[in-house]
Homo-oligomer: A and B are copies of this chain.
Amino acid sequence: MERVPILKIGDILLVSIQLDMSDQTAVQLQEDLAERIVATGCHGVIIDITALDIVDSFVGRMLSTIASISKVLDAETVVVGMRPAVAITLVELGLSLNGIRTALNVERGMELVAAARGDESDDQYDDDADAETARP
């Protein structure tokens, strides 16, 4: 069975999908990713789909599932490298990638993950600030 490799780069897990996904490969990828997120404590998952000519409902659902699993494990998911034709087909098919952030390329995806983590720290900071101003 084919297995999609998961690459760790800093705080991010990178997955480059190049094969047509079978049911088994998709389930295996979800399990592998969940395990790696827990093992590494990474806070970002970037899925590169540059190589995909078509994103059908099966792949769309797989991406949504991965995003949901990652979310539960405190990691952001960003899908990068979507081709213009794929985006058009997605809209024409009426498929919405629920809960999935997208970015043009891996670097922007990394920035998005960093920004999302930064926002969370900012929120925390804001809460503190509010608490302080509320004190007197």
- Chain A residues within 8 Å of B, Cβ to Cβ: 2-5, 7-10, 14, 16, 18-19, 48, 50-51, 81, 105-107, 110
Closest Cβ of chain B: how far from A1's Cβ, in Å?
A: 11
A13: shortest Cβ distance to chain B, in Å?
Answer: 11
* A7, B106: Cβ atoms closer than 8 Å: yes
A106 to chain B: closest CB distance in Å? 5
| A9 and B50 within 8 A (CB) | no
Q: Are B10 and A107 in contact (CB under 8 A)?
A: yes
A13 to B50, CA, bound (A): 14
Give complex CA distance A5, B110 in Å.
18
Residues of B within 8 A of A106 (CB): 7-9, 14
Q: Using Cβ atoms and an 8 Å threshold, which residues of chain B touch A9?
A: 9, 106-107, 110
Alpha-carbon separation in the docked complex, A128 to B104 (Å): 43
A7 to chain B minimum Cβ distance, whole angstroms, is 5
Chain B residues lying within 8 Å of A7, measured Cβ to Cβ, are 14, 16, 48, 50, 81, 105-106
Q: Taking the nearest CB of chain B, how far is it from the CB of A87, in angstroms? A: 17
